[in-house]
Amino acid sequence: MLLQINFNASVIFLLIVSAISMMGSDFFFSDNSDLYGPLAHNLRFVLFYLCMIELGVYSYCRFVDNYQAIAVLGVFILLLITSLEVYSVINQVPVDENYARLFWYSGLSHLGFGGFYLFTIKKS
């Protein structure tokens, strides 16, 4: 029950952070106004795409009442941490540490909930 509450909280938190960031707020992440051209707002668009994926996977899992895909999404979100570091090195731009924190929390919450679901299904 606690894993489910934490998972739902992480989904809501990810959606709120993404919405606030897409509106241009610097509340959660530092302002990268020095980025211009193709790099401008790239990370905000990543959050937007992640929200669309999140909504799709979450809706699908609720519809079929099978939460195995949540664990896979958790692994994907955790892999985004390394991807952000590679993005930072390749483009020679600093990436706010709060992105990694958000992805750690969200990814571990998804992995915990989805993993628990997988574990209980195999036991049954």
Residue type, 79: L
Which of residues 8 and 44 earns the better pLDDT score?
8
**What pLDDT does 46 receive?**
86
- The torsion angles phi and psi of 96, rounded to 5 degrees, stand at -55, 135
Confidence (pLDDT) at 26:
79
Name the pTM for this structure.
0.86
Structural domain includes residue 119: yes
Q: What is the rounded CA–CA span in Å between residue 76 and residue 70?
A: 10
Residues of the chain above pLDDT 90, percent:
53
Burial of 76 (0-12, 13-18, 19+ CB in 10 A): middle
User: Is there a domain that residue 45 lies in?
Assistant: yes
What is the count of structural domains for the chain?
1
7 belongs to a structural domain? yes
Domain annotation covers residue 18: yes
What's the rounded Cα separation, in Å, for the pair 57 and 73? 8
Averaged pLDDT, 83-89 = 91
Domain of residue 72, residue span: 2-25+37-123
Q: How far is Cα 97 from Cα 23, in angstroms, rounded to an integer?
A: 20
Q: Does 98 reside within a domain? A: yes
pLDDT tens across 90-120, in order?
Answer: 988 888 889 999 999 999 999 999 999 888 8
22-81: pLDDT as tens digits: 887 777 887 665 555 666 678 888 889 999 999 999 999 999 988 889 999 999 999 999
Nearby residues of 111 by Cβ (< 8 Å), 6 or more positions away: 71, 74, 75, 78
pLDDT at 86: 94
Residue 74 lies in a domain: yes
For residue 79, being part of any structural domain is answered with yes
Query: Does residue 112 contact residue 3 with C-beta atoms inside 8 Å?
Result: yes
Q: Would 50 be classed as within a structural domain?
A: yes
